Amino acid sequence: MKIKILGTGCQKCVTLEYQTQTAVNQLQLDATVEKVTDMNEIMKYDILSTPALVIDEQVIFTGKVPKTEEIKEILTQYSTK
Amino acid sequence: MIQELVHIILYNWLGMDATSKLVMAVDFFFYDTIKILILLYLVSMVMNFVNTYLPIEKIRSFLLNKNLFGFQYLLASFFGAVTPFCSCSSVPLFIGFVKGGIPLGVTFSFLITSPLVNEVAVAMFIGIFGFKVTAIYVASGILVGMFAGFVLGKLNQEKYLSDWVKDILNKSISNQRTYIAETNSIFQKISIASRESLQIIKGIFIYILIGIAIGAAIHGYIPNDFFVQYISRDNLFAIPMAVIVGIPLYSNAAGIIPIIQVLVTKGIPLGTALAFMMAVVGLSLPEAMLLKKVMQIRLLVTFFSVVGICIMILGYFFNMIL
């Protein structure tokens, strides 16, 4: 599973990256977490607000930072697909 | 009620002397801080809650699909006001709007009002100036966004966007987003909104304290006529000066509003104070640095000038009628 965090580096984006990484570690998923900060790259996903979470090139949510528990739920849901 | 609570703690529990000047300042400081924190929580709670029903994607399709009879500038400006503002989203939002087909001017209307009328500014205004001045501020902010957006739209500035933005606008990228259905109940929404509000407060708490402390210091130690000498109602240059000084003076609203309030009690006209406030909150250098990514310097200068002039006009107007 390839996870991307889209964000230009504001506090929220950093938090989301940290919590996603934590979620991945706790679930012991075979996944990579990549931070995308280049605006040109980010805009390829047609999003209106950051930070955003992308799993396997699919935008999951934008403009919010869910709790680690909620991120875990989302990741579990996607890893079983 | 808060006032009484502060009194009880200071005078009855800690046994402070209610007539001492310093104690009065401390009293004032605690009262203001507590009041503002509560207001800040409530206002950002409401804004975040509304936002869970009105995400930015919905706003975009609303501005695109409906026949808005020329009201699109007003609506964009209004939506900018009710959406919680995060500066790091400015660029994706700008590109997303223009790419989606929303005219540049309407996009600007949204972009101007979004920082200008934000949850922090509104809460601080209610706490410090009361509801009437807050209503004036919010209405003015929406008007400034509407007019400045309209003017910028008429100036046909599309050619001054950055080249890579023009590239993106010309390419059509298939919309590949799919959402997880958001099935949050109303209680979950309230809990999310509450969490977001606490996050906001956590981020700016220290600025509120500093702002209120500086305000209290000016209140006590700078003579009443000090500012009025320079910034009187008759001085026509006061407003342009206030706006120009306000732009680089970026602090968040939290730090600056308590100071403004003291300046107003020291005799600075409200119109001048409002103009200063808007320049500080709405036009900032960090914002300019972000926007520079999507537009050429020329458009950036035009953007700041048009908004700055609208703010000045508004300042003169309020000084005339108030």
Domain carrying residue B217 = 2-165+186-321
Convert the pLDDT of each residue in B225-234 to its tens digit. Answer: 666 666 666 6
Convert the pLDDT of each residue in A5-59 to its tens digit. Answer: 998 877 788 889 999 999 999 988 888 888 988 888 888 888 888 888 998 888 8
Q: How far is residue A51's CA from residue B88's CA, in Å, rounded to a whole number? A: 9
Residues B103-111: what's their mean pLDDT? Answer: 92
- pLDDT, residue B18, reads 64
Q: Closest residue of B to A49, CA-based?
A: B89
Cβ-nearest to A63 among B56, B195, B293: B56
CATH number of the domain where residue A18 is located: 3.40.30.10
Q: Is B173 inside any structural domain?
A: no
Residues B282-288: what's their mean pLDDT? Answer: 81
- pLDDT, residue B223, reads 65
Across A13-22, A44-53, B54-63, B205-214, which has the greatest mean pLDDT? A13-22
Q: Is B176 inside any structural domain?
A: no
Q: pLDDT above 70 covers what percent of chain A? A: 99
Best residue in B54, B165, B177 for a mutation probing chain A (most A CBs within 10 Å): B177
Q: How far is residue B262's CA from residue B84's CA, in Å, rounded to a whole number? A: 27
Among A2, A8, A9, A10, which one carries the catalytic annotation?
A: A10
Report the gap between the CA of A61 and the closest CA in chain B (Å).
7
Q: B177 versus B63: which is more confidently predicted?
A: B63
Q: Is B170 inside any structural domain?
A: no
Domain carrying residue A31 = 2-79
Among A3, A5, A6, A13, which one carries the catalytic annotation?
A: A13
Convert the pLDDT of each residue in B114-127 to its tens digit. Answer: 888 888 888 888 98
- Verify whether the Cβ–Cβ distance A43 to B95 is below 8 Å: yes
| Alpha-helical segments (H) within B155-235 | 163-170, 186-221, 225-228
- pLDDT, residue B107, reads 92
Note if the bond before A51 is cis, omega within 30 degrees.
Answer: yes
Q: B286 versus B128: which is more confidently predicted?
A: B128
- pLDDT, residue B255, reads 76
- pLDDT, residue B188, reads 79
- pLDDT, residue B176, reads 47
Tell me the pLDDT band of B297, cut-offs 50, 70 and 90: very high
- Verify whether the Cβ–Cβ distance B168 to A50 is below 8 Å: no
- Verify whether the Cβ–Cβ distance A10 to B86 is below 8 Å: yes
A73: pLDDT strictly greater than 80: yes
| ipTM score assigned to the predicted complex | 0.80
B75: pLDDT strictly greater than 80: yes
Q: Count of domains in chain A?
A: 1
A interface with B, Cβ–Cβ < 8 A, is 7-13, 39-40, 42-50, 57-61, 63, 67, 74, 77
Least confident of B79-83, B204-208, B244-248: B244-248
Tell me the pLDDT band of A81, cut-offs 50, 70 and 90: low
Task: Produce one character per residue of B141-163: b if its CB has 16 or more CB atoms within 10 Å, e if not.
Answer: bbbbbbbbbbbbbeeebeebbbe
Tell me the pLDDT band of B298, cut-offs 50, 70 and 90: very high
Q: Count of domains in chain B?
A: 1
- Verify whether the Cβ–Cβ distance A49 to B91 is below 8 Å: no
- Verify whether the Cβ–Cβ distance A58 to B178 is below 8 Å: yes
Assess whether A75 carries a catalytic annotation.
no
Q: Is B66 inside any structural domain?
A: yes
Best residue in B89, B164, B206 for a mutation probing chain A (most A CBs within 10 Å): B89
- Verify whether the Cβ–Cβ distance A58 to B177 is below 8 Å: yes
Residues B25-52: what's their mean pLDDT? Answer: 84
Best residue in A13, A36, A39, A42 for a mutation probing chain B (most B CBs within 10 Å): A39
Contact A61, A7 (CB under 8 A): no
Q: Is B30 inside any structural domain?
A: yes
Q: Is B268 inside any structural domain?
A: yes
B65: pLDDT strictly greater than 80: no
Mean of the per-residue pLDDT values of chain B: 81
| Alpha-helical segments (H) within chain B | 2-7, 21-53, 56-65, 72-82, 90-100, 104-116, 119-129, 131-154, 163-170, 186-221, 225-228, 238-246, 253-265, 270-282, 285-291, 297-321
Q: Is B175 inside any structural domain?
A: no
- pLDDT, residue B21, reads 66
- pLDDT, residue B183, reads 61
B interface with A, Cβ–Cβ < 8 A, is 55-57, 60, 86-89, 91-93, 95-97, 99, 164, 168, 173, 175-180, 195, 203, 293
Single pTM value for the model: 0.83
